[in-house]
Chains A and B, each alone.
Chain A
Amino acid sequence: MPEIPKEEFILKCTSACAGCSASLSLRYVLKAAGPDTVLVVPACCTSVIQGIYPNTAMNVPVYNVAFATAAASASGMSSAFRALGKKTNVIVYAGDGGTLDIGIQALSGAFERGTDFLYICYDNEAYGNTGMQRSGGTPLGAKTTTTPAGKTDVKKDIDAIIAAHEPPYQATACAAYPQDLFKKVQKALSIRGPTFIHVLAPCPPGWRYSTEKSVEIGKLAVKSGIWVLYEREYGNLTITAPSKAAIKKPVPLEDYLAPQGRFKGIDPKTLGILKQRVAKNLQRLAQEEAGVC
């Protein structure tokens, strides 16, 4: 068990929704990073969570930038800090829209250039800040305000896109497993170069479940195998313990979908495709870890 510091970097009275796992995850990210850290935040829920000028709920500097530019701004910031001889952590904390969609060009550029920073995508699988429109992260079959009948396209595999850039470290995490997230952030920050952590962040209003269930939903995502926890260090994949169990014996996907209003009434065909994809992904990762690929 890692020693998680008591010091808080998110102060009380944020503007987050009740049960927000993006803020829960950020709490542990900052505990792992410590005070010599700058957060770079594009347009996303976190730009609201921090509060309204002249107040701030964050106990580290937060640099808010335009939607498409988080990785590019962080690139400039990291270059400047390193030129000044400072080791200050530069952490992008961006949603799925700012990462998978509008921000992907800058993200790809920064990874290709080997920028020394940590990019965290907290993925609530929709444009949460603007009221739950579909994003590239929205899974197949999920209802959003712009896919009212359920999304007909599959979730974009940003992790595969990042892996293609061959960063020294990338990982997945979930706000429901804060100690795992804490360890992965610490490891990412100990490595020079571009590192990436993709955090599943269940969202009560967007996913339409009751607020007390965020941790439960996050755990079901992992146990059902629709979200797989792993690390890829210098290309070598290690699947994290709870997902190892899911590979051996996943809980039924329906257990994860049923409590969420966004999947209510999902048609059997779509459900079938979703289940197939989950099984195939688990198999693919298990084989990669075993070196069979």
Chain B
Amino acid sequence: MDFTYTSEQESLRDSVRRFVEREYGWEERFRIIRSADGVAPGHWATFAELGWLGAGLSEEAGGFGGGAIENALIAEELGRALVTEPFNAHVMATQLLAALPVDTASDLTAAIVMGEQRIIPALQEPAGRGDWRQVEARAIGTALTGTKSLVEGAMSADRLIVSARSKDGIALYLVDPHAEGVTLSPYRTLDNRRVADIHFADAPVTLLANGAVAETAIETAIDHGLLTLCGEALGIMDTALWATRDYLKVRKQFGTALGNFQALQHRMADMLIETEMTRSILLSALGAMEGDDPLPRTAAVSAAKVQASTGGLFVASQAIQLHGGIGVTEELNISHHYRRLYVIARQLGDVDLHLARFADATDQAAA
């Protein structure tokens, strides 16, 4: 076993880190989240230019030869600065297309990786509570009706990939968000991301895949999305942890640095343990992604999501607590670390859902 990054992966990480340091300072992020779009114009083009949009995609699928590790690594670095660009949605879109054996898919992938097209998956519905397997949207022929929720990046999408029930089971459709019958209702989530609910009323759609092929592709895309979220969570946890450590070293109360209080030292130690457990289980799940057997992969990914969710909320809530009053202010980044981790803990399914998914996959693997 070898848990060190390759030199290519190292340089990818450095490139994201440099971008974040140069282009995404705290003041700059504030300006971005208060703007109408919630993302900065031009950043996505930079992502494409620097090769990040294809870094986590195999060469056969039109990428630059990487995989889930590269995506998690990019997400971890973006997480450190709470970058609001919908990188996670991008990863799901490209992995979804890569899992589909149709020509349209590879043409689209090329455009996405170059940053020429923005394609966004819309796979969940309000009643599903993050469970992408609950699909009520319905397609009759090439007309789709239903509602998809919490679609990140919807406002800047050139195309949507939407799941819906068809006469052949769950199917995936390519949809033009500007077509008649498609209505976007944008809103802001707690973490200052811009998302939309999308309502379809007999909207014209193009079939991409249906049946087992579609369902497998969705599961694959979701697993990639989950790992990207875990990577992002790890970056946020690590940042919040060390910022809190630095604060305890300098902040004095009752004549001594807060870091001298044993109760607080133990709390920091627990925060470090949760962070390292998250890092470890993420690496284990990234390893499982390389296997051919879907059950261990499912179990490992859900396990990582559970740990990243509970560990992330623990670290972020304790970071607030240890900062005291300023921890709950809008001005300080700590409150935003919490808000993002709060959302990540529920995105693509909450802890309950992933505990059940882990248990089901483990049972099936043992049977």
Q: Do A and B truly interact?
A: no
